[in-house]
Structure 1
């Protein structure tokens, strides 16, 4: 693979262009189909090859898709180097508004993080897909379905034992996301619905969706919440009020814990960033990676949500 990015998984080095240059000299003067192989697609078509550096920071819910798309994009555009980092939606929105990065990834609208309208005017919103989020529990938890009201009581500390919601007599360990997390904001908007968490209730917090998922998988009686893109067999996702956490139920808002995945850029992004955003909205990503990675294409939604959280039919 050509290209590189730094992610929560790995750093992939960029192959040097010297090898291609040597191959080009070796093939100089050759004719036929082999002669064309020395040229990149951009050069052969007369297009200027893309080059530049892109840093995307923010939502860990969007991170798996952004990483996968970046890897494919760099294979096709070896002159572009993309770094993908987490840190939470708040950090993504703040850093793009400050001009510190090229892309700020966020599960929430920038308006919820930036109060200064002049900051909002500096950036452009690019909604690239939908992400569903769900409560997850350790595999030893015996319930599969939970009432929304009971879920709220667990995350406000009112319910502290699984026996109170139909499970075994075992303590509940709540694992929250950090305060800047867009996943947490989305979850709390629906589940807590404005209910204040008592100051005396202090569950542990994790900075990333991946870490929260690992903690739930390894901690008896644990509960947290993650994006559908983090679902695996090491823990169990709960139904809420009998509704299954899946894409079909998100599309018509039967499952209410969901959000857009935003990739905020400068109002006038540089050429490489603009090309990457166009790639994110193209068929390779929207028709392939989005669903493969556990997200929902924009085209599948039967409803839409505004910055205030109001949902309406399309």
Structure 2
């Protein structure tokens, strides 16, 4: 009977110890969760970014989602051109310089850190009334350098070609220079606009016009050219069949911290990359073939 009583006592003590451990564990979990929520809610500050207008269609939705999740953080994103963004972040005027181009040599001693966030495809566009649907790379190059000035020379109507494109500070222009012009210079006989949206509007409303925009901007107001018989698609870029694209960068002066780091991490994170990037007209870097 004594032995039986000891067994009951030990069992009771064991149950009490186990219960105490479980309660402690629950408290620890709750504390950990609470500290995580506290850390998330404690994130605050202002993030400033400017540069590539090609990247705006992706960063604006990211900004809205990030601010919704962190109501004490304000993210301000502006255009201005890729080289403008790199200049401003190098000078410390902004937190993030958005750019369509790799870091040029003149910036490599400025302490800038590169964060590749997506691939941006670009398309050549024309007025919807233009009968020409395909250009060779050589024809496109000859148009932009001023060697071809009439659509009849590439199978179209007898109509002057009007070039509408970007300023030298534009990363979009740099990409077209590298992929289509192969380093040649654009003709000066062109209308210069300060954003992808302005180029799109100009081409849409100007008979005989040609320009280039980030594929995310192209809509039914313009006609998109095939190049060497290949129509633009994300898969054509991934397969190496369509040549006009660039890696999108978010440059910071030194390693980012606090709200700036959190915003860049959000843009580069699997959730945003896998669910939003392609929907917004870009290509996740992970899908590009090495």
TM range (shorter): 0.7 to 0.9
Q: Does 1:95 align with 2:88?
A: yes
Q: CA deviation at 1:197?
A: 4.1
Query: How much has 1:76 moved relative to structure 2?
Result: 0.4
Unaligned runs of 5+ in 2: 1-32
What does the per-residue CA deviation read over 1:260-291, in whole Å, with 9 as the maximum and x for residues that have no partner? Answer: 00011121223000000110012332012211
In the alignment, does 2:227 pair up with 1:235?
A: no
2:164 match: secondary structure? strand
2:39 pairs with 32, 40, 47, which one?
Answer: 47
Q: Which residue of 2 aligns with 1:265?
A: 252
Name the counterpart of 1:215: 202
1:298 aligns with 2:289: no
- Alpha-carbon shift at residue 123 of structure 1 (Å): 1.4
Change (3 A) 1:133 1:42: farther
Secondary structure of 2:189 counterpart: coil
Question: In structure 2, how many angstroms separate the alpha carbons of the residues matched to 1:91 and 1:152?
Answer: 26
3-state SS of 2:106 partner: coil
8 Å contact from structure 2 (residues 90, 107) kept in 1: no
Within-5 A mapping of 1:176-215: 176-197=165-186, 201-215=188-202
Structure 1: gaps spanning 5 or more residues: 1-40, 303-313
2: distance between equivalents of 1:116 and 1:274?
A: 21
Q: How is 1:1-314 mapped onto 2 (pairs within 5 angstroms)? A: 45-48=37-40, 49-111=42-104, 115-119=106-110, 122-197=111-186, 201-302=188-289, 314=290
SS at match of 1:229: coil
Instruction: Give CA-to-partner distance per residue, 1:26-49, whole Å, 9 cap, x none.
Output: xxxxxxxxxxxxxxx977734252
How far apart are residue 147 of structure 1 and its match? 1.1
* 3-state SS of paired residue (2:159): coil
Segment drifting more, 282-291 vs 138-147: 282-291
Distance 1:187 1:169, change over 3 A: same
Moved over 6 A (4+): 41-44
Name the SS of the counterpart of 1:95 in structure 2: helix
- 1:239 to partner: Cα distance: 0.4
Superposed CA offset, 1:168-209 (max 9, x none): 1111111121110000000111111122445xx421111100
Deviation of the 1:116 alpha carbon: 4.9
Distance (whole Å) between structure 2 residues aligned to residue 80 and residue 213 of structure 1: 32
Using the size of structure 2 for normalisation, the TM-score is 0.85
Counterpart contact for 2:144–2:163, Cα < 8 Å: yes
**What displacement does 1:149 show?**
0.8
Over residues 100-144 of structure 1, what are the superposed CA-to-partner deviations in whole Å (9 max), with x where a residue is unaligned? 101100000122xx515421xx11100000011111000000111
Distance of aligned partners of 1:52 and 1:218 in 2 relative to their CA distance in 1, 3 Å threshold? same
How many matched pairs? Answer: 257
Query: When you count helix as a share of all residues, which structure comes out higher?
Result: 2
User: Normalising by the residue count of structure 1, what TM-score does the alignment of the two structures yield?
Assistant: 0.79
